Amino acid sequence: MAENNKKKIMLTGDRPTGRLHIGHYVGSLRQRLIIQDDPDFEKIFIMIADAQALTDNADDPEKVRESVFQVALDYLSIGIDPKKTHILIQSQVPALHEITIYYMNLVTVARVQRNPTVKSEIQMRGFGEGSIPVGFFTYPISQASDITAFLATTVPVGEYQEPLLEQCREIVRKFNATYGEVLVEPEIYLPENKTCLRLPGTDGHAKMSKSLGNTIYLSDSEEVLKKKVMSMYTDPNHLRVEDPGTVEGNTVFTYLDAFCTDEQLHEIAPDYETLEDLKAHYRRGGLGDVKVKKILFRVLNDFLTPIRERRTYYEAHPEDVVEILREGTEEARKQTEETLKRMKQVMQIDYFDQWAEKFGTEA
């Protein structure tokens, strides 16, 4: 009944530390486009998490500031529709930061220390024992605030973010049990295609990341894309065209799995009906890397062409982008203020309202 009619709410976000790449696309951005057209969703929010980006980029605020606008362009260029999806800037929504303060009391230091995502990030960033910023260490708590302040049910993010969602659900349970049922437990929303969970870099490294220089950006030009694809990692033992090749762990095939449908392949290379046919040919021998790379280039270029076109439009109309961010941030303020108000009520720290009732004073 009432429960069943309850519509879903999406909230997700990205740290603005650079432009978004095709790994972001298959891991999380594509899911947002699906949700955008799903009538079960009542409200949809995407957050540019600049405050979170600053937790481990304190010495490079310029990079974060520039990336806020670039990430907004990335969203709009992939087809995020501001009529359906609110795009907001985290630092401009005060309730998020206020809520974080209260959540900090519901989480132990030991619990944060155990978080596998934080652990591996501390390692990756090369933070030594004595150099972890408090803000970085506690960002999972702030992220729980990001999600719950919107009463989000659904969070499309990369699989590696699951421990943060688990942390968030724990906070929700603790808050609701301690004070009263206000908050909603969110769920992660992952791609169905398992290849998309973690797209490797163009060099075959398990992760695509700017620091490794193995990314393909959504904003890459045709020329840059061609260069990157043609120098991609394949099967190091596939030396001559006639040699049998291996498809597993071969990045070119992994990308085809993530981006290319059978129909598309057949259109580009009519000799093949399905991706499986292409793989079989490669395994058998007689199919060269260059030919497969050319197919992949076509697939990715067809994918990026409309994205580049929309980006060019918005780059020429920055005032539209600013308006979209202003509107999204405004809506986010409303939504989060409302949640914060209800939280303060059940926490009974709405003193002036309580005294108004008790003493007839001004609320």
User: Under the rule (CB under 6 A), what is the footprint of ligand TRP?
Assistant: 11-15, 47, 49, 52, 143, 146-147, 155, 157
DSSP H helical ranges for 216-363:
222-230, 251-259, 262-268, 275-284, 289-316, 318-347, 351-359
| 8 Å CB contact between 207 and 158 | no
CB of 133 to ligand TRP, least distance (A): 15
Q: How far is 299 from 313, CA to CA, in rounded Å?
A: 23
Nearer to ligand TRP, 49 or 252 (CB): 49
Nearer to ligand TRP, 13 or 200 (CB): 13
Nearer to ligand TRP, 12 or 67 (CB): 12
Nearer to ligand TRP, 26 or 147 (CB): 147
CB of 189 to ligand TRP, least distance (A): 10
CB of 253 to ligand TRP, least distance (A): 27
What is the CB neighbour count within 10 angstroms for residue 73?
21
CA angle in degrees (0–180, nearest 5) for 32-116-175: 70
Run of H or E residues at 75: helix 61-78
Q: How far is 184 from 137, CA to CA, in rounded Å?
A: 24
Nearer to ligand TRP, 170 or 243 (CB): 170
Nearer to ligand TRP, 24 or 238 (CB): 24
317-352 as b/e, with b when 16 or more CB fall inside 10 Å?
eeeebeebbeebbebbbebbeebbebbbebeeebee
| 8 Å CB contact between 97 and 28 | no
Any bridge partners for residue 86, and if so which? 45
Nearer to ligand TRP, 49 or 260 (CB): 49
Helices 251-259 and 289-316 pack at an angle, to 10 degrees, of 50
Q: How far is 174 from 178, CA to CA, in rounded Å?
A: 6
